[in-house]
Amino acid sequence: MSDRFEVLATCGPARAGLLRTSHGVVETPVFMPVGTQATVKSLSSGDLEALGARIILGNTYHLAMRPGHELISGLGGLHEFMAWPGAILTDSGGFQVFSQSGRRTIDEDGVTFQSHVDGSTQRLTPESAMAIQAALGSDIAMAFDECPPSDAEPPVLAKAMERTTRWARRCLAAEPAVGQMRFGIVQGGTSLPLREAHLGEIAAMAFEGLALGGLSVGEPPEVMHEVVAHVAPRMPAERPRYLMGVGRPQDILAGIGAGIDMFDCVMPTRNARNGHLFVAQGHLNIANTRYRDDRRPVDEACPCEACRRYSRGYLSHLFRAKEILYYRLATLHNLQYYLNIVRDARQAIIEGRFPSYAAAQSAPMAVGE
């Protein structure tokens, strides 16, 4: 396992490392832009390359529903399909399926659910989830797990953990694509004893990496930070650690400080579309009337195309006019912000100054400035 991941430096629990995939080496800590349907919304693969992204995330559920993993496989796999030369991690689809309360039924073998595309009855099992990811040809395939509600009682959490463990074994028994790594998922809600117990079970299996699932799903941020700070340092040091679906910049910095290596979240792209642009120690709402005649860039220190070339006034106009160009420029900016945070965090770890870097970045958010 250690030949795929190497820790180069530490600063307290925080780590800087290298993750070797079939489509290149990824420097960690890393933020993965979310390309759910074989696209990071409004951006081309060339845009992502220019930003310096080295790994993105795709979704098993959405790609299986449309256009279908068989079609993608027939067109050369997900990398060729979307003309992306870097690494790809695919989520198993478990979160999407289990979030459809009322439209799915679970049994020991798998989950039956209704497609959000056409309402047809569909089924996912550990074997089919892994087979879909093998057909897609992703570099990292996530195990199929049961995602309990955020407010689930301990007996419900324990039952989901037990099933996730049984399904994890079945996922490992499935045949991966050539060179494909597989990551197991640790559940347990916000219960520290349950998280520790499940970590022991999943870490004992031959997964190349481990992830923390079931967080940032409604619990207070301070509770999530407590869970991550407790569990992350206990995860095997020789394998990459992934915190799924997190999150705000301050949450990512807290995760890095606890020893997490990999992150993904729709926040930078979704916020961009809604007019919220990240800047140092906060964000601005481009819909605010104060920006209509503002000649300054969104962030003078940002190297993205939106900041190098255009003014806040122009972006304000594009947003109000609902012009397509706005979504591209805003998304470029927000992803640049996120990628810069983890790159700078990595350098701070290497230089032994991560705590001071994180403290400076995590100052209270200045909304609307």
Q: 244 with 57: CB under 8 angstroms? A: no
The CA distance from 95 to 136, in Å, is: 18
pTM more than 0.95: yes
- Give rounded-to-5 percent helix, strand, coil for the chain: 40, 20, 40
Residues in the chain: 369
Looking at the DSSP bridge assignments, the partners of residue 18 are: 6, 27
The CA distance from 224 to 362, in Å, is: 16
**Domains present along the chain, CATH in parentheses:** 5-265 (3.20.20.105), 275-367 (no CATH)
pLDDT digits (tens, 9 = 90+) for 25-64: 999 999 999 999 999 999 999 999 999 999 999 999 999 9
> Which positions are catalytic?
91, 264
Evaluate if residue 363 carries a pLDDT over 90: no
- The band of 366, judged by pLDDT with boundaries at 50, 70 and 90, is very low
* Residue found by looking up tokens 């209509």 in the block: 292
> How does the average pLDDT of the chain come out, rounded?
95
pLDDT digits (tens, 9 = 90+) for 281-306: 788 999 999 999 999 999 999 999 99
Evaluate if residue 367 carries a pLDDT over 70: no
The CA distance from 83 to 29, in Å, is: 25
- The band of 2, judged by pLDDT with boundaries at 50, 70 and 90, is low
The residue type found at 288 is: N
3-state secondary structure of 151: coil
